[in-house]
Amino acid sequence: MKDMIQHPIQVDILMSDGFVLTELSAILELLRIANRVTARQVFRWQNLSRHGGDIRCRAGIDVATQPFHPKPSAHYVFVLGNSDPDAKELSLQKEIKAYQWAGARVILLSEAASRHIAETGEQTMSHTTHWENRAVLNERGTPGVGSYALVADDGRIITSAGMGSTHDLVLALLGSHLSAASVATVADIMLHENIRTFATLQPFGGKELTLTGNRALDQCVELMQANLEEPLRISELVALLGISERSLERHFRTHFHTTPNAYYRELRLNHANTLLLKTAMSVRDVGLACGFPNGFSSLFRRHFGVTPMSLRKNGNLAAYSN
């Protein structure tokens, strides 16, 4: 049975400078197409920020917003991610409670979800966030073990990995108010072939990763991802997988056009990139956390063309540039 909410359904979108454009566009375009498909205004929406005015995303695009309402009346409220887990504008416990008091469904995406998790003090399986943010929560010592699902609903707040999973989340929301055929049409217009369920694991953080359809190769990548701080030797990997080193090398060259060692090293360097930009860990500690007890800065510069310190100093500024 569809929810008996009188149309139009009000959707508030809360954002701050540095918001994730992918998430905003997923929400707006799917709601807009839903109205088009049904030939009526099922949904209406408004963009809000703490003080109102133009808000700029990481891609350098400005969006006009209105100030937060002290007494909201929306049916749904989305809080967008920010790309900066420390952005003070993401601390919205007061606003979240106001929306809950008004009976709205509160939906927190990526960094907004991780900020809520950090401020409530514990990671639980009833909350999720983007795997990059989960890594930051773990590094900062937030207790507990959280979910790597795309979306988690604890009955009061919906948390999500955000990014591309926002499409799946909004399509599920549409399913509460539109016919199955209408939702399928919206998905078809977006060329979104498969609507993933909330419980679907994130492609990186998920423990049942499928990248290639090659069982041994997928298991190898999973083992690599699970052992970034203390990397396994290739001999240990093949022993766990039950294949030869030559076979593993052939699989990597066929599917990824690289060697197992090079792939593993790049995974660890990419993780180091995330920690440098999203934590206050020292460069040495980042290197250790990614399995580089020696020579980390040189390897990082060779791969990214910039030193770890330069990346940390200029990373946020570069993210705003074209």
Domain layout of the chain by residue ranges: 9-189, 215-320
pLDDT given for residue 4 in this prediction: 53
**Cα separations (Å) of 29 from 121, 186, 190?**
34, 10, 9
**Cα separations (Å) of 186 from 36, 69, 261?**
9, 30, 43
Question: Letter for the amino acid at 223?
Answer: L
pLDDT given for residue 280 in this prediction: 84
Q: Which CATH architecture has domain 9-189?
A: 3-Layer(aba) Sandwich (3.40)
Q: For residue 192, how many other CB atoms are within 10 A of its CB?
A: 17
**Cα separations (Å) of 304 from 121, 286, 319, 320?**
35, 15, 15, 18
Which pTM was predicted?
0.76
pLDDT given for residue 96 in this prediction: 94
Residue from 225, 219, 226, 208 nearest 242 by CA:
219
Mind listing the pLDDT tens digit of every residue in the chain (322 residues)? Answer: 345 566 799 999 999 999 999 999 999 999 999 999 888 899 999 999 999 999 999 889 999 999 999 899 999 999 999 877 788 889 999 999 999 999 999 999 999 999 999 998 889 989 999 988 988 888 888 898 888 899 999 988 999 999 999 999 999 999 999 988 889 899 989 998 888 889 888 876 444 444 566 888 888 988 988 898 999 999 999 999 999 999 999 999 988 888 999 989 988 888 888 788 878 889 999 999 999 999 999 999 998 888 999 888 876 444 433 3
CATH assignment of 215-320, among 1.10.10.410, 3.40.190.10, 3.20.20.60, 1.10.10.60:
1.10.10.60
